[in-house]
């Protein structure tokens, strides 16, 4: 096997030797601007050469601390040993047959792992796809085939992708939907339990928001027209909103009582990210269908819909698929990623990251009132920034300024949130504690310099 030049063998250190981005990145950025469509953005245009553990190296020789994991993908670290080993072996054997033409074992093995790891002990089946959006679209197709109904219910602040149906399911206009309509019909949006911004306070939020959502579904859509309710158990792009306690179980029960397929979109929150295999386990919610992607395959494109066998089998033979869905190399990578999660007990690592981060961020909040809220679980942690803790007026400018200051110091952080005022932290679960603390030092210094 080829020797690893990146991955876990990379020196685990921050190193800033040029301005960020440096001169070579700027040159590449000029080439990029000439030929890459302007609609495709980049958070930080430093061009990557290698990455692994908790760092990303760029063409100018800088080594950045990674608090992004390529948007919650490289949970096992970049080029993790088992991912590279299994994917490399698969590359040498065959790269593609199309599972719909001649099948292979890797696809089946991934579906076996999904049946074992996802919540609930009922009989489960899966179908594999290439992207998160594709998985969500297929979950809706399956739910419609099963229920013979059409309506889909989604939530304020929800994010489910950029394809036509998933744009309709996504809440935020800019940048995801603006000018790209018309959108798919039969999509209905209802309130979510956003504790920090709930008018009567976080204690009342779960039951009150559930009652409002259910009232809107019953009165405006009609429960027996609803095929699926689709929700992220921790809302990702919308601002790392953990629905207030009681909300998810209540909505899941309502779905069950009304023959509606309850779909948990765990594309961002799944696979150890929140310190559990899946975030919905936190309140013991067992979804009918669960969509996964991102962390599942250590950086290779793979996504899945997993769920109750009788629902998954509702689509007629030939009704689900795609040329590349469950590509053999991506499946091999997924088996390597899952092996790594088990062997390194990455749920425990995620919980430790939460402990360190929340401890440090809580101390910062006492000094910097711009931090309105600290939330999230495991290695999916965010802070919501406000102009004044009393009014909670969103402060997107501070989020942008802080991200910029962190980037200049060699710490990659991402923003999110409907109001653009949330800084989110998604380190690889294998990051060392020294780097984690160094990253938090940089964040603290950035607050001091605001």
Q: Rule CB under 6 A: which residues touch ligand PLZ?
A: 71, 131-133, 136, 159-162, 232, 236-237, 265, 267-268, 293
Closest CB to ligand PLZ among 290 and 442?
A: 290
Cβ proximity to ligand PLZ: between 10 and 192 the closer is 192
Output the smallest distance, CB 18 to ligand PLZ, in A. Answer: 27
How many other C-beta atoms lie within 10 A of the C-beta of residue 28?
A: 16
- Half-sphere exposure of 146 toward its Cβ, with a 13 Å CA cutoff? 23
Radius of gyration of the chain (CA): 21
Q: Which is nearer to ligand PLZ, 192 or 267 (CB)?
A: 267
CB nearer to ligand PLZ: pick between 71 and 364 = 71
Q: How far is the CB of 169 from ligand PLZ (least distance, A)?
A: 9
Q: How far is the CB of 300 from ligand PLZ (least distance, A)?
A: 12
Least CB distance to ligand PLZ at residue 101 (A): 24
- Contact of 380 with 301, CB cutoff 8 Å: no
Nearer to ligand PLZ, 61 or 181 (CB): 181
Smallest distance, ligand PLZ to C-beta of residue 17, A = 30
* Residue 24 near residue 47 (C-beta atoms within 8 A): yes
CB of 265 to ligand PLZ, least distance (A): 5
Q: Which is nearer to ligand PLZ, 293 or 312 (CB)?
A: 293
- Rounded to whole angstroms, the Cα distance separating 440 from 442 reads 5
Question: By Cβ distance, which residue is nearest to ligand PLZ?
Answer: 132
Question: Quick one: 136 or 210, whose CB is closer to ligand PLZ?
Answer: 136
DSSP 151-203: EEEEETT----SSHHHHHH----TTTTTT--PPPSSEEEE----GGG-TT-HH
Closest approach of ligand PLZ to the CB of residue 255, in Å: 18
Q: Rounded to the nearest whole angstrom, what is the least distance from the CB of residue 237 to ligand PLZ in the complex?
A: 6
Pairing of strands 151-155, 226-231: parallel
Output 115 or 230, the one with its CB closest to ligand PLZ.
230
Closer by beta carbon to ligand PLZ, 76 or else 263: 263
Measure CA 179 to chain center: 25
Helix or strand run (H / E) with residue 412: strand 411-412
Contacts 24+ apart (CB under 8 A), 352-361: 352/433, 353/378, 353/379, 353/381, 353/427, 353/429, 353/431, 353/436, 354/275, 354/378, 354/379, 354/381, 356/433, 356/436, 356/437, 356/440, 357/381, 357/425, 357/436, 357/440, 360/437, 360/440, 360/444, 361/440
Does residue 175 have a cis peptide bond before it, meaning omega lies within 30 degrees of 0?
yes
CB of 264 to ligand PLZ, least distance (A): 10
Q: For strands 422-425 and 380-385, give the pairing.
A: antiparallel
**14 prior amide bond cis, ω within 30:** no
């Amino acid at each position: 096997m080829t020797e690893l030049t990146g991955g876990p063998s990379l020196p685990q250190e921050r190193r800033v030797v040029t301005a960020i981005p440096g001169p070579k990145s700027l040159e590449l950025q000029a080439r990029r601007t000439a030929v890459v469509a302007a609609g495709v953005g980049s958070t930080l245009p430093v061009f990557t050469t290698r990455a692994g553990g908790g760092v990303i190296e760029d063409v100018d020789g800088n080594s950045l601390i990674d608090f992004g994991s390529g948007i919650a993908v490289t949970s096992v670290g970049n080029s993790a040993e088992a991912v590279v080993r299994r994917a490399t072996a698969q590359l040498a054997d065959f790269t593609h047959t199309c599972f719909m033409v001649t099948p292979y074992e890797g696809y089946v093995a991934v579906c076996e792992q999904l049946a074992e790891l996802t919540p609930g002990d009922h009989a489960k089946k899966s179908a594999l796809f290439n992207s998160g959006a594709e998985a969500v679209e297929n979950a809706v197709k399956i739910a419609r085939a099963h229920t013979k109904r059409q309506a889909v219910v989604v939530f304020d602040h929800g994010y489910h992708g950029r394809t036509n149906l998933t744009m309709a399911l996504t809440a935020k206009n800019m940048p995801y939907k603006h000018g790209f309509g018309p959108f798919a019909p039969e999509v209905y949006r209802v309130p979510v339990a956003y504790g920090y911004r709930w008018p009567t306070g976080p204690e009342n939020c779960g039951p009150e928001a559930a009652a409002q959502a259910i009232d809107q579904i019953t009165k405006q859509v009609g429960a027996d027209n609803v095929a699926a309710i689709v929700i992220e158990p921790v809302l990702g792009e919308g601002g790392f909103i953990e629905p207030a306690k009681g909300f998810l179980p209540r909505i899941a029960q309502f779905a069950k009582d009304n023959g509606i397929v309850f779909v948990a979109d765990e594309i961002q929150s799944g696979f150890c990210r929140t310190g559990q295999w899946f975030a919905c386990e936190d309140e013991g919610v067992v979804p009918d269908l669960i969509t996964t992607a991102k962390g599942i395959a250590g950086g290779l494109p793979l996504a899945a819909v997993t769920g109750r066998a009788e629902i998954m089998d509702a689509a007629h033979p030939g009704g689900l698929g795609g040329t590349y869905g469950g590509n053999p190399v991506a499946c091999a990578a997924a088996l390597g990623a899952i092996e790594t999660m088990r062997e390194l007990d990455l749920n425990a690592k995620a919980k430790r990251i939460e402990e360190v981060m929340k401890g440090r961020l809580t101390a910062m909040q006492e000094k910097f009132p711009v931090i309105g809220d600290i939330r999230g679980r495991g290695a999916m942690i965010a802070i919501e920034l406000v102009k004044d803790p009393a009014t909670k007026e969103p402060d997107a400018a501070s989020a942008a300024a802080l991200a910029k200051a962190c980037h200049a110091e060699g710490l990659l952080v991402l923003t999110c949130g409907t109001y653009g005022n949330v800084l989110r932290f998604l380190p690889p679960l294998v990051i060392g504690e020294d780097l984690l603390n160094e990253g938090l030092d940089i964040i603290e210094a950035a607050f001091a310099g605001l």
